[in-house]
Amino acid sequence: MSLLALTGITKNFGEGNVLKGISLEVQEDELVAILGSSGAGKSTLLRLIAGFEKPDQGEIVFDGNVVAGESFLPAEKRKIGIVPQDGALFPHLNVYDNIGFGIAKDPNKDSRIQQLLKLIELEGLEKRKPQELSGGQLQRVALARALAPKPKLVLLDEPFGALDAELRDRLRNDVRRIIHAEGVSAILVTHDQEEALSLADRVAVLREGRIIQVGTPTEIYNSPADIGIATFLGESVLIDGKVTDGKVTTDLGKLTALNQVVEGQSGVVAIRSENFYLQPNPAGDSEVVGRVFFGHDAVVEVQTPSLKIKARSNGPFAPEVGMKVTVWVRGAVNFYPTK
Amino acid sequence: MQKPPVLTVVLGVFAALLAIVPLGYLVLRLAEGIEAASAELARPRTFELLSNTVLLVVSVSLTALVVGVVQAWFVVRTNLRYPGFYAVVATVPLAIPSYVLALGYVSIFPWFSGFWASWLVLTMATAPYVFLAVSAALLRVDIAAEEVGRSLGLSRLQVFLKITWPQVRTSATAAVLLVSLYVLSEFGAIALLRFDTFTRAIYNAYRSSFDRTAAASLALVLVALTLVIVLLERRYRGDYLMQRPANPRRLKQDLGKLQTPVTLLLALFGLLGAGLPMAALLNWTMIGSSSTDLAKLVSATLSSFGIALLAAILVSIFALAVSIWVVLHKNKLGSFIEGLLWSNHALPAIVVGLALVFFGANVTPWIYQSIWLLMIAYLILFLPNGLAAMSTPLAQVPKGLTEVSQSLGQSYRKSLTKVILPIASPGLIAAAALVMLTVLKELPATLLLRPTGAETLATRLWSATEELAYAQAAPFALVLVIIAGLPALALNASVRKTYAEVNEE
């Protein structure tokens, strides 16, 4: 049985539905990312799971009990940890008291706090006030505070949003390590696809109040359910195509579709920018018209006879502007028939 | 950094001298007659005054805290119906000078006097300060931290006590100290309600004898008490742990069945703090309308306006000079003078009035009983308000503008008058207007120092109430609330709003 099960959750704040029938399951010891752009309803969903809001319809079952639906269990009774966006440490308490806040009556409080301090690698900083911590330290303390009472589930609300890129990378690894060390399930809400893909065991894509697709990061990335997800998850080039002889005929040649196709159907294929291969060819019919160099890779803009594409190329070997090339598409593509 | 313009320095130093000389003189003269003064203070009467004063200060502070926090909590943190209306209700007593509030009650209940009466009136008069500070703090409480608290298993009450209150406590403490300063220096209401505290005793001692040692000695004890609170206040001022305003939806808790009782409670506070006494005064004005001396009312209004206008101009000139000095050219002397002038903000008006009577009669007889001595009193009393209100708009002018103007060939002085002052002018004008409205309501210093024969709304009202002629006093009270109190309230609210908006950026 799953640890958390949401069925048919809707929520309306009077300005149109924020959530329109959400169903989702989270297993024990699983990290699920809910990925969506701002306004998709991510935070509302998290607050419903935590117990700060009541769903209008639908049911939430947590750890074998109905917590919303027929009966309602408020946040303080659910034992679900939360890590808010900016950490939200209690500003009047030091690190030690922040972490110990939820286990005030626990006889093993001190050893538990020490254990967590070690886990988050902040030993020796227990006397510090939140104002004296860096952004990454704040988030780690917030995580330790949520984990202290040993909840079965923690909710992470865009926990890395306010940090700079390098810190975000490090903290991501830390969080993954800490959560696995504690053997707790987690739901991470984020608008950052890289974060969701790199951190989660499974990703649920939320758009306009609906979950559009759930799957492992690889599934989601390689087989996005629709064009929207395809472009949201990474740079994709969209090209018109038509199914003939079981293949998709496009301006870039005949491509193999990953999904089931129907003969004669027309639609669009989405090609990830890293799936283009640019072969230098003085007699090629395409020309490099732009190049943005990032070091490890480069984004190369290519004008083909019929369209302009952006291809990601191995940095050191990226063709220069003005070079003639032939464009190849590597591997199979996703085909989305026109409705 | 540029040197401050000479004129600002001259005005600043002059203001500082005005602010310390009369008080210094009071202290020196008392020190000379130390034996007489200590004999005066050794009387059991002093102890009685002290205990009365402390009792009133402490009890009013506590109840104002409770009333203000209750109002703020329900208005800001619950789904109370018409929260905007109740926010206005909670601040309206600010528009009513506390002696007018007291007059309203006395005019309904002639027996209304003594400790409990003073306690009620001053609680209602000061709760708005707590309400404003605490509601602003409650709006900025970290809601996410409260939610974390609940996710860790705390009940709502525990969340309030352990997470919300610690974030509001500093603001609340600062407001309570402000309230205690207010009560300590309050004269009109307490005198009207005949409760013996230092301010009333000082006034009576001054009125009853030509030897002013008694009044002056008591005044010094009052100053000492004030100093204690100011020192306490200094520890708390500005020590806030504020967040950005929270999502209103997450801020509001459902009142459920409590909606009606809470509404009634807030309405009751409104009734006690403004509705009841103002209705009484309105009623007296109607009853006495045939006998109201309109000529007196008009002439008192005009002379009130004249005096307040002159005071506002003088205070604004000095406040602007010191603000320019301190905000645009911060240096040690400037900061010192600003601190010195600011330290007067807690000085009871009765003490300032008394010191100037003393000083004027003995040292500068040529301005004694002229309007200029009164103006000096207003300068001492209201320069702190003027400074606080004027430095904000000046500080908000982007720093680089003067430099840009100078790089375009304007002299520093031209840049100041053509760039900085025009940009800051709306705020500066609002500040001057606020000073004027505050002066209109001032009672004790005006009472002591007004030029012979000059009558303002406040002094007319005072003499009418001394004769228990409520129908005569009521129209003066009403006019005072309408021309001074309500505009000041509105202006203050808009100043606070712009200030908050600017600080959001």
CA distance B172 to chain A (A): 15
Model confidence at B356: pLDDT above 50: yes
Given this model, what pLDDT does residue B240 score?
46
Does B246 score more than 80 pLDDT?
Answer: no
d(CA A279, CA A284): 9
What's the confidence (pLDDT) of residue B409? 66
Which pLDDT belongs to residue A116?
A: 92
Q: Give the one of A79, A80, A88 whose C-beta lies nearest to B145's C-beta.
A: A88
Interface contact A76-B151, CB threshold 8 A: yes
Beta bridge partners of A215: A203
> Which residues of A124-283 form beta strands (DSSP E)?
153-157, 185-190, 202-207, 210-215, 236-244, 247-250, 253-255, 266-272, 276-280
- Eight-class DSSP state of A257: B
A88, A145, A148: residue with CB nearest B142: A88
Between chains, do A145 and B154 touch, taking CB under 8 Å as contact? Answer: no
Contact B58, B176 (CB under 8 A): no
What distance in Å separates residue A92's CA from the closest CA in chain B?
Answer: 7
Average pLDDT, chain B: 85
* Distance (Å, whole) CA A267 – CA A239: 9
Of A13, A84, A101, the CB nearest to B152: A101
Q: B5: which 2 tokens?
A: 């313009």
With vertex at residue B44, the alpha carbon angle to CA B42 and CA B45, rounded to the nearest 5 degrees, is 105
Residue B2 pLDDT grade (very low, low, confident, very high; cuts 50, 70, 90): low
Q: Number of Cβ pairs closer than 8 Å across A and B?
A: 65
Contact assignment for B153 to A74 by CB distance below 8 Å = no
Please give the pLDDT value at position B505.
37
Contact B339, B391 (CB under 8 A): no
Alpha-carbon distance B141 to nearest alpha carbon in chain A (angstroms): 10
Chain A: give the shortest CA distance to residue B327, in Å.
28
- Residue B464 CA to its chain's centroid (Å): 24
Cβ contact B433:B489 at 8 Å = no
Q: Judge whether B117 and B127 are in contact, CB under 8 Å.
A: no
Chain A hits for B167, CB-CB cut-off 8 Å, are 91-92
* In the predicted structure, residue B327 carries a pLDDT above the cut 70: yes
Q: How far apart are CA B350 and CA B201, in angstroms?
A: 10
* Residue A175 touches chain B, beta carbons under 8 Å: no
Q: CB distance from B253 to chain A under 8 Å?
A: no
Radius of gyration for the alpha carbons in chain B, expressed in angstroms and rounded: 24
Distances (CA, A) of A284 to A291, A305, A308: 18, 10, 15
Residues of chain A contacting B250 with CB distance shorter than 8 Å: 52
Q: How confident is the model at residue B503 (pLDDT cuts 50, 70, 90)?
A: very low
Express as a percent the part of chain A with pLDDT over 70: 99
Average pLDDT over residues B324-335: 83
What is the C-alpha separation between B420 and B2, in angstroms, rounded?
15
> What's the pLDDT score for residue B239?
47
Q: What percent of chain B has pLDDT above 70?
A: 92
Residues of B in contact with A90 (CB under 8 A): 145, 148-149, 163, 166
For residue B318, pLDDT over 50 is answered with yes
| Residue contact B163–A80, C-beta within 8 A | no
- pTM, to two decimals: 0.79
Interface of B with A in 134-163 (CB under 8 A): 142, 144-145, 147-155, 163
Name residues whose C-beta falls within 8 Å of residue B468's C-beta, 6 or more positions apart in sequence.
Answer: none
Identify the residue among B148, B158, B165 best suited for mutation to test binding to A, counting A beta carbons within 10 A and taking the highest.
B148
Counting as low any pLDDT under 50, the low residues of chain A are: none
Q: Contact A53/A47 with Cβ under 8 angstroms?
A: yes
Question: Do the chains contact at B150 and A146, CB–CB below 8 Å?
Answer: no
Chain A interface disruption, residue of B151, B156, B170, B243, most A CBs within 10 A: B151
DSSP string, B352-409: HHHHHHHHHHHT-GGGTTSHHHHHHHHHHHHHHHHHHHHHHHHHHS-THHHHHHHHTT
Q: Residues B449-467: what's their mean pLDDT?
A: 86
Alpha carbons A208 and B475: distance in angstroms, whole number: 62
Most B CBs within 10 A among A76, A83, A103, A113, hence the mutation to make, goes to A76
B317–A contact, CB cutoff 8 A: no
Contact A52/B at CB under 8 A: yes
Instruction: Give the sign of the dihedral formed by CA A26, CA A27, CA A28, CA A33.
Output: negative
Question: d(Cα B182, Cα B176) in Å, to the nearest integer?
Answer: 10
pLDDT of residue B248: 61
Q: Nearest 5°: phi and psi at B112?
A: -70, 100
326-355 in chain B: CB under 8 A from chain A:
none
Asked if the C-beta of A90 comes within 8 angstroms of chain B's C-beta atoms, the answer is: yes
**Side chain identity, residue A306:** S
Residues in chain B: 505
Which residues of chain A does B154 touch, with a Cβ-Cβ cutoff of 8 Å? 76
Does B84 reach chain A within 8 Å, measured CB to CB? no
- Whether A102 contacts chain B with CB within 8 A: yes
Average pLDDT over residues B215-236: 82
Mapped onto helix, strand or coil, the DSSP state of residue B153 is coil
Residues of B with CB below 8 A from A51's CB? Answer: 150-151
Residue of chain B with shortest Cα separation from A88: B145
Predicted confidence (pLDDT) per residue in A298-315, tens digit: 889 999 888 888 888 876
Rounded to a whole number of angstroms, the distance from the CA of A131 to the nearest CA of chain B is 9
Please give the residue of chain A at the shortest CA–CA distance from B242. A91
Residue B315's nearest CA partner among B396, B417, B436 is B436
Predicted confidence at residue A305, as pLDDT, reads 87
Q: How confident is the model at residue B84 (pLDDT cuts 50, 70, 90)?
A: confident
Residue of B nearest to A44 (CA): B250
8 Å CB contact of A52 and B150 = yes
- Residue B504, pLDDT score: 45
Residues of chain B above pLDDT 90, percent:
23
Tell me the CB-side half-sphere exposure of residue A130, using CA atoms within 13 A: 19
Q: Return the percent helix, strand and coil in chain B, to nearest 5.
A: 80, 0, 15
pLDDT at B152 over 60: yes
Render B395-418 in DSSP notation, one character per residue: HHS-THHHHHHHHTT--HHHHIII
Name which of B42, B6, B9 is nearest B338 in CA terms: B9
Inter-chain CB proximity B147 and A84 less than 8 Å: yes
Q: Which residue of A has its CA nearest to B147?
A: A52
Contact yes or no for A89 and B145 at CB 8 A: yes
Give B151's contacts in chain A (Cβ within 8 Å).
50-51, 75-76, 78, 80-82, 146
B148·A52 Cβ contact <8 A: no
Residues on chain B touching A81 (C-beta within 8 angstroms): 151-152
* Measured distance CA(A277)–CA(B368) in Å, rounded: 97
pLDDT number for residue A166: 78
Pairing of strands A266-272, A236-244: antiparallel
